[in-house]
Amino acid sequence: MKRLLAFLLLATTALLVAPGTSLARLPYPTNFYDGSQWLRIQAVYTPAAAFGADLEEPVDLQVGPDDKVYVADKKTDKVVVLGTDGQPIRTLGDEEDGPGKLSGPEGVFVTSDNLVYVADTGNQRIAVFGADGAFVREYKKPETTLLASQRFVPVKLVVDRRGVMYVQTSSSYQGLLRMSQDGEFMGYFGANKAQQSVLSWVKKLILNKEQLAKETPNLPKPITNVSIDQDGFIYTSTGGDYGKGAIRKLNAGGVDSFKNKTLEHGHGIVDTAIDKEGFLYNVDMDSARVNIYDRNGKALFAFGFIDNNTQQYGVLGFPTGLGVDSKYNIWIADSRTKTIQKYARTEFGSDVLSALVLYMDGKYEESKPYWERVDARNEMYTGIYQGLGKVYLHEGKYGDALDYMKEAFDKDGYSKAFWEVRLDWLQNHFVGLAGGLVAFFAVVTLGVRWLRKWLGRKKFSEFWSKQLTDLRTFGFTMFHPYQGFYKLKETKVSPLVTILILVAVLLVKILSVYETGFLFHPVDLSQIDLVRELEFFVLPWITWIIANYLVCSVKDGEGKFREVVQGSTFALMPYLFFSVPLLVLSNVVTLDEKVIIGTLTSVMTLWLGAMFIVMTQVIHNFDFMETIKNSAITVFAIGTIWLFGFIVFGLSYNLYDFFYQLYKEVSFYR
Amino acid sequence: MYQGEAWKPKPGADGFALALENESYALYIRPDDTQIAVVNKRNGYRWTSNPTEEQLKEEKTKGLPLQNLKSPFALVFVMTQGKDQTIRDTLNVSSPKMEVAMIKNDKGVQISYWFPEKKIGLAIQYELTTQGLKVRVPTDGIREEGEFVVFTLDLLPYFGAATSKEDGYLFVPDGPGGLIRFDSEQADISRGYNHEVYGSEITNMANYTRSGERREDIAYPVFGVKKGDNAYVAVLTQGGDSANISAMPPGLKTSFYNVNSNQIYREEYLYQVSRLSTPTKANQKQRLDRDREVEYRFLTGEDAGYVGMAKSYREYLKANGQLTQTLKPVSHAPMYLKIFGGNFREAYNRIQYVTATTFPQATEIVKSLKDKGMTNAKVIYYGWQDQGDYNMEKRFPIEKSLGGDSEAKKFVSEMKKENIDVIFQDDFSWIDSASASSGKNNAIRGIDGTAFDGYGWYMAKPEKTVREAYDTIDKLKDIGVAGIHYNMLGEVPFNDYDPSGIRTREYTIDAYKGLLDYTRKQLGSASVYRGNAYAVGSVDYIDYFPNESSYDFMIGETVPFYPIVLHGYVPYSFDEGNLRNNVEDEFLKAIEYGAIPTYFLTYKDSRDLKYVASWLFSSQYEKWADRLVKEYKDFDALSGLFSQTIVNHEKLTANRFVTTYEDGTKVIVDYGNKSFKVEKGGGA
């Protein structure tokens, strides 16, 4: 089983690979993204072939409407057209000098009526060829004063349905140059935003104009590649270490419908392509994978590899362009191996992607057979649970839907299913529920009444009656904080009661960690680090006590340390009071009614805050403004204590680590 | 090393002198440049160590590649001292001031070379056998008397080299067998094939830094050339585990296709002076001190092809005692049923064992499959160790949540009643950080002297592996387990660069083979993954047998060389039926290559194992039962072939292949319409 270690490592780190991964498999693993991590899955795409086609330096690739593959070959000054079988059909670009001769073309685009637009980089123009391969026309630099000082060196381009060209010129940061069919300049489109760093902000703040002028200007990164989909959305990709908005899906108005999001595996994008279903494909140098995303830019699958010294089908050397044909084959131009690599969808891949398409279109019923076929081959893929969950929801199998949505950690779906399940349950058990509730309240009221009576009659020893009084004060304080805390100031609360309250609070906290409803705490319970959860609950409270006591002593507060502890304990009453109903509610309400939980939580928080402030005021005998001021200082002191704590902890950890490494050095190395 | 008087032959008109001769072959040597030629006396075909003058007329390369093209060896030397150890240079017969001495005795001819400028020398011995030619480089013959030392040695690099105009192919040991046809179109996008036998060294960190390389490691040290009606298959008979097999297409260095053994004497590794500095490249100081021997076995006529090569290699393994007798015939094909018990997961503050199949549930699975028609099976049980793979050294008591020792015993005895062997899977090679023993004493060392450490895991020294396994075998015997399915033993041999001296792969292999033999003696059977050639004589079953190519640009065709070698002697299976990438094609390939079926099952849904064994993506037994039984019946129809050898394999069309067995039975597989048919032979 340890052999698989290597594969797990592969899934996480693409850079380090154990040699001798000896399992008989494809030259790359396939992974799916489950929302937080990449997990293994069987192949979605397999390498189909690689074609040499006498290419010297393929730098861009475009699949035409008739599935022919157009490759811009920079070195041979040609655009090579390949058939679906990968065999060259013809080349564009004349041998002899003339208008049809290309020079170092770096980009190619094919329109729906088979016109081929070539970014003829060396000749600083755009050349257009007809479907028969004959030169048709050219576009030189648009004649406008706006571009007077600039050179026109097109590298990548797309053309929309109206014949408007979107051209990326060599390392231009202004965005895509828009040109009409007649070659008129129509402005720039879709420029990247300049990345603002804290440093540049500080510089702007403190440097004067002359100094600023000397700084290297903070320019937006140039767009590296551009694609267009059937609906006319324009996708710009930006390579390099550019996480946010590395792929933008722009409408005609230049608005990014991916909302500048950071894509998984999107830090070194070379090129994108969009299939007829609207799914997005990219090849990414940083993760060294080929990736598939859904229409919203959510990562689905990753496969393939990039390796400088590749000798294998499916492993790319230096990918430069990517295209998808109508049969979903992926074509990638690789300038290191001087080949075009082709990947074909597997049966499994075709099932899972068809299911996803139908799912995204809301055709849940139609998606069912696909999901079932995927489910028969793979139970690990999280999408199945979401997909089949939706199917079951649609079919009215709410119980199953509930389980599946929970498995997929899909809160919205779970909420919907839960709403139905709850309705069903209520309809069947309404009488029982109402009866149960009535009975419960009756028992509670009667019980409380009886308890009071019993307490009134029973004579307690001095010790026990003291405890009872303290407990009553605890309850009383919640609704009458001023009076309650004032009472506290004079009495010495028995330690037993303090401990009892604190234990009760801890128990409630633990309960809320483990028993809060799935919708409001969607985590895998076995992975909860209880100590950590409690640490972040208890430590603030303890530091509050220390800080409050210290600060208020300095500020002439009257409170003794004991009183601060007592007060801070009693101030926790709202937490105890609200948590139990919150816990119950979280298991009963759906997301539609989450406002109840939200409101209750806010009330609880405000109440807790008020309690602590009142406590400070009463115990230290401050006036109101003093209280606010000193509470603020207390919070600041808490921050200081924590900072100090972190530093001490950090340093001692370093020391520990030093000795540990030394130990390891001695024991593992010679 | 041969001793004796110098042999000073008189060359004939073509420059060659007759050196050795037996009934079938004659060896000629050119005294001036020491090129050799072997003549097959049966048909007069002449194999030469280098292209002839005539062939070289059109050659365009110059300089070193041309010199190498005319030399029977190319020796790369380096320095192991100094700042820049990356400088490599080559010695061959054209190197200046070379001194040659030849000795001939009744065994063979020895040619010693000495390069006074670099103070390096080597000796090559040639012998004729009934099969062909043996070429040996004795380690005693290597002289390193200056600052320069031997790095690698290309032995007879252009023996049988061919141009793209000739008819034939190179055979390389990629996956089950790979062919590089001389008329291949794809070869021009390739940059050659150069891979270490049994995979690159895990002890060398430099091998880790390449991104993404994932390939089929060489499982058998064999290569070959077919030219027209003549062919040879070369077996690396000594020191083969410290060699690369290297094949080149034309256009890279020369205009010839060639394949040869590239003997590794030292490796380059990354040396880290301190934790913060970037590692520098350095060369291993001590030489891998082993004799190297390659046996060229010549084939003619019908045998001149990959099938003939496989048969010849099978004969070699038989003569060498590795393959002794064919399997006993079976009335029903065996199915290897892997059952995943479970494994650990780190939960909060504890180690959680996630159970997938308890022992009673395993009984239920097997019985229900048997009821459905699976008549002959062996069970391999995974994850039985206490807390699974957590703490690799702690195995007993058998994991409680599976049922513990008592249920394990019950399971084994239940299975015995059904005539089914239960085999436990285990790993004695990897040791994790939860294990008690220290890496200092038990881990193998890398070239830089540090313990080999893979993210807190380390690789046990072979003797540690053997010790652990012996203890385990004793305990498993009590339970009644019929064998151990070993991780690593059949896949990854390694060098151990212990400060007290290098233990080469040979040492590891001997220890592993000893362990396999001991297991068979004590428990009844031993099995491994991959089935590297050294292990085939010591195992009863090979899992994940090489069946797919590495998807190399250069290799045009994948052929069942290794299956032809082993079929009828060792049963083997490919990937599990439920974990295939392509369900139908991989099933058909198993039929074509004569594999036996295997499935990997669990009782519970595999989704429960998401964070435990995410690679086991679909294993719930009820889901697969029907498909399994259907496939089993298909395999069972071929049960008569289980103990037979394969005598021929042919490609009929692009999608149709035929495999012929001893008794004449033909299995024809058609990938086009996803079917296969059997034509019974005379003997059946």
Q: With helix as H, strand as E and coil as C, how does B523-548 read?
A: HCEEEEECCCHHHHHHCCEEECCCCC
Q: Cβ separation of B618 and A25 shorter than 8 Å?
A: no
Flag whether A5 is in a domain: no
A136: domain CATH number is 2.120.10.30
Angle, vertex CA A223, rays to CA A220 and CA A226, nearest 5: 155
- Residue A652 CB-density burial (10 A; 0-12 exposed, 13-18 middle, 19+ buried): exposed
Flag whether A44 is in a domain: yes
B189: chain A residues, CB-CB within 8 Å:
50, 52, 337-339
- Tokens 């991989």 locate to B586
A571 residue type, one letter: A
DSSP state letters, B444-484: -B-TTSSBPEETTEEEBPHHHHHHHHHHHHHHHHHHT--EE
pLDDT above 90 (res B421): yes
| Total number of residues shown for chain B | 684
Flag whether A664 is in a domain: no
CB B591 within 8 A of CB B638: yes
**Among positive and negative, which fits the CA dihedral A399, A400, A403, A409?**
negative
SS3 (DSSP) at A457: helix
Last residue of a domain, one of A415, A432, A458: A458
B18 or A197, higher pLDDT: B18
CB B217 within 8 A of CB B210: no
Q: Cβ separation of B215 and A307 shorter than 8 Å?
A: no
Task: Name, in order, each residue with C-beta under 8 angstroms of A495's C-beta and a sequence gap of 6 or more.
Answer: none
Q: What confidence score (pLDDT) does residue A145 get?
A: 82
Task: Name, in order, each residue with C-beta under 8 angstroms of A456's C-beta and a sequence gap of 6 or more.
Answer: none
Residue A271 and residue A247: Cα distance in Å, rounded?
Answer: 9
Flag whether A573 is in a domain: yes
Q: Cβ separation of A42 and B581 shorter than 8 Å?
A: yes
Q: What confidence score (pLDDT) does residue A475 get?
A: 81
CA–CA distance from A62 to each of A45, A77, A122 (Å)? Answer: 19, 16, 20
Q: Count H helices, E strands: chain A?
A: 16, 27
Q: What confidence score (pLDDT) does residue A168 get?
A: 93
Q: For B410-426, what is the mean pLDDT?
A: 95
Residue B541 and residue B534: Cα distance in Å, rounded?
Answer: 14
The answer to whether residues A426 and A573 belong to one domain is no
Closest CA to A248 of A206, A336, A201, A189: A189
The answer to whether residues A340 and A367 belong to one domain is no
Last residue of a domain, one of A458, A486, A514: A458
Give the residue from chain B lying closest to A339, CA to CA: B189
Q: For B173-193, what is the mean pLDDT?
A: 85
The answer to whether residues A563 and A650 belong to one domain is yes
The answer to whether residues A288 and A409 belong to one domain is no
Kind of pairing, strands A225-228 and B598-601? unpaired
The answer to whether residues A473 and A407 belong to one domain is no
Q: Which of A4-13, A314-323, B371-380, B638-647 bottoms out in mean pLDDT, i.e. has the lowest?
A: A4-13
The answer to whether residues A109 and A245 belong to one domain is yes
A107 or A215, higher pLDDT: A107
Q: What confidence score (pLDDT) does residue A18 get?
A: 33
What is B335-426+464-639's CATH number?
Answer: 3.20.20.80
Q: Please list the residues that pair with A157 across neighbouring strands.
A: A167
- Token digits of residue B254: 């020369």
Q: For A362-384, what is the mean pLDDT?
A: 92
Report the first-to-last Cα separation within chain B, whole angstroms. 52
Question: How many C-beta neighbours within 10 Å does residue B388 have?
Answer: 25
Give the residue from chain B lying closest to A530, CA to CA: B348
| Total number of residues shown for chain A | 670
**Among positive and negative, which fits the CA dihedral B194, B210, B613, A294?**
negative
Structural domain of residue A392, as residue ranges?
363-458
How many CA atoms lie within 13 Å of A106's alpha carbon, on the beta-carbon side?
19
pLDDT above 90 (res B327): yes
Q: Cβ separation of A19 and B607 shorter than 8 Å?
A: no
A54 or A348, higher pLDDT: A348
- For B497-536, write each residue's pLDDT tens digit: 988 889 999 999 999 999 999 999 999 999 999 999 999 9
The answer to whether residues A397 and A338 belong to one domain is no
The answer to whether residues A437 and A514 belong to one domain is no
Q: Please list the residues that pair with B223 across neighbouring strands.
A: B234
ipTM above 0.85, yes or no: yes
A50: chain B residues, CB-CB within 8 Å:
186, 189, 553
Q: Is the peptide bond before B397 cis (omega within 30 degrees of 0)?
A: yes
pLDDT above 50 (res A10): no
Q: For B62-87, what is the mean pLDDT?
A: 89
Give the residue from chain A lying closest to B342, CA to CA: A1
Q: What confidence score (pLDDT) does residue B140 get?
A: 94
The answer to whether residues A491 and A609 belong to one domain is yes
Task: Name, in order, each residue with C-beta under 8 angstroms of A488's C-beta and a sequence gap of 6 or more.
Answer: A473, A477, A563, A566, A567, A570, A618, A619
Question: How many C-beta neighbours within 10 Å does residue A506 have?
Answer: 13
pLDDT above 60 (res A14): no
Q: For A139-148, what is the mean pLDDT?
A: 85
| CA distance to partner chain B, nearest, from residue A2 (Å) | 7
| CA distance to partner chain A, nearest, from residue B91 (Å) | 26
- For B2-26, write each residue's pLDDT tens digit: 888 889 999 988 899 999 999 999 9
pLDDT above 80 (res B202): yes
| pTM more than 0.90 | no
Residue B511 and residue B492: Cα distance in Å, rounded?
Answer: 13
Considering only CB atoms, A26 lies closest to which of B389, B443, B581, namely B581
Q: Cβ separation of B553 and A305 shorter than 8 Å?
A: no
Q: For A598-609, what is the mean pLDDT?
A: 93
Percentage of the residues of chain B whose pLDDT score is greater than 70: 97
Flag whether A356 is in a domain: no
| CA distance to partner chain B, nearest, from residue A257 (Å) | 33
Percentage of the residues of chain A whose pLDDT score is greater than 90: 52
- Token digits of residue B541: 């079953």
Residue A306 and residue A271: Cα distance in Å, rounded?
Answer: 14
CA–CA distance from B661 to each of B299, B537, B607 (Å)? Answer: 21, 22, 42
- Residue B513 CB-density burial (10 A; 0-12 exposed, 13-18 middle, 19+ buried): middle
Phi, psi of B373 (to 5 degrees): 125, 5
The rounded mean pLDDT for chain B is 91
CB A355 within 8 A of CB A388: no
| CA distance to partner chain A, nearest, from residue B289 (Å) | 23
pLDDT above 60 (res B250): yes
Q: Cβ separation of A16 and B583 shorter than 8 Å?
A: no
Question: Which pairs from A499-507 meet CB under 8 Å and 24+ separation?
Answer: A500/A471, A501/A474, A501/A569, A501/A570, A501/A572, A501/A576, A502/A569, A502/A572, A504/A576, A505/A572, A505/A575, A505/A576, A506/A534, A506/A538
A529: chain B residues, CB-CB within 8 Å:
348-349
Residue A506 and residue A486: Cα distance in Å, rounded?
Answer: 26
The rounded mean pLDDT for chain A is 87
CB B457 within 8 A of CB B443: no
Q: What confidence score (pLDDT) does residue B453 get?
A: 66
pLDDT above 90 (res B206): no
- For A613-622, write each residue's pLDDT tens digit: 998 898 888 8
- Residue A168 CB-density burial (10 A; 0-12 exposed, 13-18 middle, 19+ buried): buried
Q: What confidence score (pLDDT) does residue B40 get?
A: 95
Angle, vertex CA B356, rays to CA B355 and CA B357, nearest 5: 100
DSSP state letters, A546-603: HHHHHHHHHTT----HHHHHHHHHHTTHHHHHHHHHHHHHHTT--GGGHHHHHHHHHH
Residue A588 and residue A437: Cα distance in Å, rounded?
Answer: 14
SS3 (DSSP) at A348: helix
The answer to whether residues A591 and A633 belong to one domain is yes
Where residue A240 falls among pLDDT bands split at 50, 70, 90? low
Question: How many C-beta neighbours within 10 Å does residue A365 have?
Answer: 12
Q: For B423-449, what is the mean pLDDT?
A: 84
SS3 (DSSP) at B654: coil
Flag whether A214 is in a domain: yes
| CA distance to partner chain A, nearest, from residue B219 (Å) | 10
Q: Cβ separation of A3 and B551 shorter than 8 Å?
A: no
Provide the CA A669 distance to its chain's centre, in angstroms.
Answer: 41
Helix/strand/coil (H, E, C) string of B119-184? CEEEEEEEEECCCEEEEEECHHHCEECCCEEEEEEEECCCCCCECCCCCEEEEECCCCCEEEECCC
Flag whether A513 is in a domain: yes
Q: For B175-188, what is the mean pLDDT?
A: 85
Phi, psi of B416 (to 5 degrees): -60, -40
Q: Cβ separation of B617 and A42 shorter than 8 Å?
A: yes
- For A441-470, write each residue's pLDDT tens digit: 999 999 989 988 888 888 778 888 888 888
Q: Please list the residues that pair with B134 across neighbouring strands.
A: B127, B295
| CA distance to partner chain B, nearest, from residue A54 (Å) | 10
Residue A43 and residue B580: Cα distance in Å, rounded?
Answer: 9
| DSSP one-letter code for B674 | T
pLDDT above 50 (res A13): no
Q: For B182-211, what is the mean pLDDT?
A: 79
Instruction: Lay out the sheet containing A185-189: strands in order across.
Output: A154-159, A165-169, A176-179, A185-189
Instruction: Lay out the sheet containing B243-248: strands in order across.
Output: B89-91, B73-79, B148-155, B258-264, B243-248, B193-196
- Token digits of residue A240: 């390099």
Question: How many C-beta neighbours within 10 Å does residue A210 have?
Answer: 7
Closest CA to A11 of A303, A315, A409, A345: A303
Q: Cβ separation of B438 and A24 shorter than 8 Å?
A: no
Where residue B571 falls among pLDDT bands split at 50, 70, 90? very high
Number of A/B CB contacts below 8 angstroms equals 210
Last residue of a domain, one of A408, A424, A458: A458
The answer to whether residues A390 and A264 belong to one domain is no
pLDDT above 60 (res B276): yes
CA–CA distance from A283 to each of A53, A73, A268, A334 (Å)? Answer: 22, 19, 8, 11
Going from N- to C-terminal start, the domains of chain B cover 1-159, 335-426+464-639
Q: Cβ separation of B529 and A311 shorter than 8 Å?
A: no
Q: Count H helices, E strands: chain B?
A: 11, 41
B36 or A557, higher pLDDT: B36
pLDDT above 50 (res A23): no
Flag whether A355 is in a domain: no
Domain count, chain A: 3
A195 or B457, higher pLDDT: B457
Q: Cβ separation of A670 and B215 shorter than 8 Å?
A: no
Q: What confidence score (pLDDT) does residue B208 get?
A: 67
The answer to whether residues A150 and A70 belong to one domain is yes
pLDDT above 50 (res A24): no
Closest CA to A182 of A206, A157, A168, A164: A164
Q: What confidence score (pLDDT) does residue A290 get?
A: 96
Q: What confidence score (pLDDT) does residue A9 get?
A: 41
Considering only CB atoms, B208 lies closest to which of A16, A315, A380, namely A16
Residue B534 and residue B221: Cα distance in Å, rounded?
Answer: 10
Q: Cβ separation of B212 and A528 shorter than 8 Å?
A: no
Where residue A170 falls among pLDDT bands split at 50, 70, 90? confident
Q: What confidence score (pLDDT) does residue A21 get?
A: 34
